[in-house]
Each structure stands twice: as C-alpha cells, then as structure tokens.
Structure 1
Amino acid sequence: MTFNSITDIPGLRVGHATDVARGTGTTAIVFDRPATCAVDVRGGAPGSRDTELLRPDKTVQTVDAVVLSGGSAFGLDACGGVSAWLAENGRGFAIGSMLVPIVPGAIVFDLLSGGDKAWGRFSPYRDLGYQAAAAATADPVPLGTVGAGTGATTADLKGGVGSASAVSASGHRVGAIVIVNAVGSATIGASGHFWAATDEVGGEFGGRGLPSPWPADAHALKLKGARPENTTIALVVTDAVLDKGQATHLAVMAQDGLGRAIRPIHTPLDGDTVFAAATGVVPVADYARDMAAIGFTAASVLARACARAVYEADALPFPGALPSWRQIHGGR
C-alpha cells in the first residue's frame, strides 16, 4: 500500500516539531542508513547548511538526515539538534573513533508570520530539531500547517508542508516533501485553481483542474512583498542507485516542479533549494533513459507536493494572518 507520501520510499522516516505559539517549526527527514545526497540552489536569498559538502567532488558521499526548518538563519540551529539525536543513536561519518552525523539543511523565513519570536538569548530550533528527529516515523507525512510549514505563506494564501509520491516509468519510486513559503502564488489568479493542476492525481488537491474560462488575472504578477520573507525548500528521494553527480542532475530536473507549481519562482527574494537523495536499493539499467524517467517523475511529484502544501494548510491564529485556501475557496 502507498500513501502518496515521501515515506512511500523505503528507508526513510519524517518527523515534525511544531510550535504554534511561535508560529514556526522544523521538519527532519532521517535515513535508516546513509543516503547519497546532492542539492540544487536557485533564487537570490538562500539559507542553508553544508550544501557545499554535497557537491560531487567533495569527499563525503552520503548523509544521515536532511533538515527543513523555519526560523530564517536562526533555524539552521535545528541541524544541530538532529545531529545530537543521530549521535545518541550511533549514527555518523566515521573519523577515527568519532562518528560525525552529516546533516545538511535549509531554512525558510517565517519570522514575520506571527507568534512570539521573543525567545531570549538562544532560539528554540536546536530543541525543535531534536524533537523532529526523535518523532520521525515511516507513517504518511502530516501536511499543511505543521513542522517547518507552520509559519509558511505565499503571496496570497497560507503555505505549508506538502508531500507526494509516484513510481517512474523505469520502475523506481520517487517521493517529495516541500515547504512552500514562496514570494509568488500557487494558484491561478483569484480562481483557486492550482498551477500544478496538470500533474494532479486523484483529486489530491481538490480535483478542480484548470479554470475555464481562463481568468483575466491569470498572468497578473502576485508577490508577497518587497522583502526577503520567502523561499521554497524541498527534498526529493528515489530508491534508485545514484552517485552524487547523478543525484545532482536529479535535483536540477526536480526544480522544474517548482516552476510548474509556483509563479513567479527563483526570484531575488526567494532562496529556493531542492535536495535530491537516493537510497540506493533499485539498480539503474539504462542510465540515460532511467534518469529521464526518474527526473520527469521527480518534477511531477514536487509540483503536486507544492499544491498539496497550500491545499492542506490552515491559517495561523494570529491577527492579520493570511487565510488558508479552504477559507477562501471552500472545503476539501
């Protein structure tokens, strides 16, 4: 049985830590054994940890976990909390007698989304990272206003956590998890129809398809604002056997899913970052054809995950909070 979740890929678990009072949170993706990982960074304002480590020419070939967090630069502390949990559980890159957990991560800006951000000298993100790792399970990923998606927003609607999965034409499983906190919009004009409608499977984000007639405001530019309060971050995972160079190409292909789901994307006010990981279970028989199929599927599941993030989100309980899709466009 599959659940249309990144956890349909065997060998990984996902955990959220949510702090609604502060309007923020953290999401940890923990691999059961080290996974090959790469990254593709676009947009003008990224925030990340250890992305340079993921380049194909760097020594370390695998990671133990990937962290997606709210909190802007403060949220990078979440990686330390995940590392602490991994170290307690005997995980990490062996250097002599020491084990050093390899935990890259990326953050979104949610500091102005409401909630109590007066946390004193130290931010809560190290503890949130630990809690997220400790809570990680192979169950379907909770979506919407949870974990790193708690404070996420788009130009006009509440954002959040989304996930989706599929099997590629090559027979490889592919899944995605995303935090949609974009400067742009996931919906077409004021219609409530999703840009990702052509990729939708089984009414997973309302089944409305594309609007007809096409709205007059469909191509009007919708922006959250003129400050760097944005960024969409994601992880795509396949069960294929890939090296870091091949995983890098997968991340590049997967980025197309953001372009299909959010407009505009990769602006100077976004720091859009897509990690790609391979658990290395199913061999690749014909690299060129199989990689085309895996990358094609990765872009599709990421586009679907973006729409699901907005579709499943609930508005935060703060004055002036952006409304959810459901509040404006009807029930699920």
Structure 2
Amino acid sequence: MTTRLRAPRRLAARLTATATVSVLALSLAACGGTTKDSSSASGEGKAGGNATADPNAPLKKGLKIAFLPKQVNNPYETIVDNAGIAAAKEFGAEAKEVGPSDASASSQVSYINTLIQQQHDAILIAANDENAVCGPLKQAMAKDIKIVAYDSDTNPECRDVFINQASSEEIGRSQVKLLAEQIDHKGEIAILSATANATNQNTWIEFMKEELKKPEYADMKLVKVAYGDDNDQKSFQQTQGLLQAYPNLKGIISPTTVGIAAAARYISGSEYKGKVVLTGLGTPDQMRKFIKNDTVESFALWDPKDLGYLSAYAAAALASGQITGKQGEKLKAGKLGERTIGANGEIILGPPTVFDAENIDEYHF
C-alpha cells in the first residue's frame, strides 16, 4: 500500500495531534570467522558514532541485508519483512529474512552471529529482548555492519537507527482512548501483551498506565497485564483466564497482532461476546471477520508494508554513507519521501490508523 493511512473521524484529530516523542529505548559472544573491514567501525556504541554523512552519496548496488524478526511464523512480521525485501530490489540489494520460530529472549542471538560470519552489510532486527541481543549487535557494528532496529527497539548503543512505527507515546495513549470510548470510561480492564520482555510492548504499556492516571479515567481500573508470548494458543488461553478470573471485566487491550486475533477468536465463540470490549493492534485481514460479526468495534495499526519499506531504505542509506544515525539527518525513503532522524537515532513512520466497520474493507494487508 503506497498511500498514507487515514484515521476515522472519531480519533483522527487526537491521534495526529499527539506530540511525537522518542521511544523510551531500554536496553553472548559472537562466533569468529572472516570479518568485514572495520576501519569505519561504529562500535563506539552511539547512534551515528563519529562518522560523517554524505547525503548525496548514491545507494550502493549489491548490498546484502537481512531481516531478523521476533519470530518467522508471526503473520505481522512476515508482512513487514516481505515488504522490506521487495523494497531492496528497488535499489539493487540482496535481502532475506531469517529468524527463530519462538520469541524467547535469546532466540535471535545465533542468527546475529551467523549473519556476522556471512558478512552482511546490514542487519535489521525486531528485538525480542533489548539486553540479550546487545552484545552480538555491538560486535556486528564493530565489523562495520549497520544495525537497524524496527518494530521493537534495542538499546540505542546497539544499533544505528530505530524505525518506530509511530510515536510510542501516541500508540500507548491512543489504545486507552480507543477502549475508554467503547466502555464509557468505566470498569475493569486488562492488557494482553506479547512477551514480558518485548521492548515495544513494555514501552506502550507504560504510556497506557500513564494515560490511565488522568482524571477522565478515574472510573477505569487496570486489573491485570497478561502475556501470551505472541503464541496463538497461549494468547487464547490467557484471554479465557482473564475473563474467568475477573468476572466484572469490561475491556481488553491487546497491542499485539497475534494476541488480538486469538482473543477475538475466543470472545466471538463465548458468552462474553457483546459484553466485553476488545481492542488493540491488528491487521485488517485478520480482524475483518471479527469486525463484521460484532466481536470487535475498532482496533488500530500502521501499515506494516510501509514499516518494512522504510526500514530497508534506512539500512541501505546507512551502508551507503548517506546517513549515520545522527539527529537531524534526512533519510530519503523512496516512495515514502523524506524522514528526519530524531533523538537517539529514531525515525518515525507515522500515526496509527483506527479500523472499524466503516473503513476496514478499504485495506488489505
């Protein structure tokens, strides 16, 4: 999808008006083998290092880049990575996706080590754990391999830039606003997250908690944050457990595409349909049937294809010397136009879009 996503009337103004803020990024040895020349290594541990950008430098041909998602069987991550791989063809790069089938903290480490050995020019990673991947990523940077975090950040010292799908504050706060409208700002609520150590999830949840401190949410109470580990069956079971443990539960926020789909599947076939509100982050294709059968009224997301596309161009720009990751530099991102690099090397894609019965059939991803 090449067009910018637009938010429906109810939340558009608030979503787009939210100030853009930098993500609160949180924060193994690699194996040996033939390495890349390290004369321009960026391993000092700061976004951009001491390198100087040449914005007029052409994108190099034949770059080798690899996408390392949280898990390769996650439908959302597949959309992102496939779009990035397709974008790489535009600038003559060789791109691939590699990764674990589970989203455990250390599952990505061996893949980073292998990509170092294979002398890739750039590694793009959606981090499962900000600490577990940091050591090997720093070793990759010391060998002049550029590191792009996307979707879920690592420590800023362990990558060159972070492609953030939207302002983390905007995502977290807008999720609470979306749920609150549907439950009249009253009742017990729960959050069904992915893994307990996922950087993006935890950052969003912190902003959700901050939003809930406002006076307008005085009659709403967060009773539980549950974790489905981005596993369909576990998320399904966690939803069931939440509804049984909290009989007065009025709503659930699931800021993960796996979690919201599993929760919707459980609720749609249970006595809770029409009684418990579900919202969160999902793709239109996976959630369409739940919108149409009235299990879910609305949910949000950005365009994952654009996220993959922007990430690929960032990797190429870094590897070609167009950018270094310093604040204020401009990234030229093909059909998406220009993006300015913010504090801590953060590049923001744009505001999330709310999907409901009025607009969901306009989107297919």
TM-score by length of 2: 0.25
Structure number with larger C-alpha Rg: 2
TM-score by length of 1: 0.27
Say which structure is richer in helix. Answer: 2
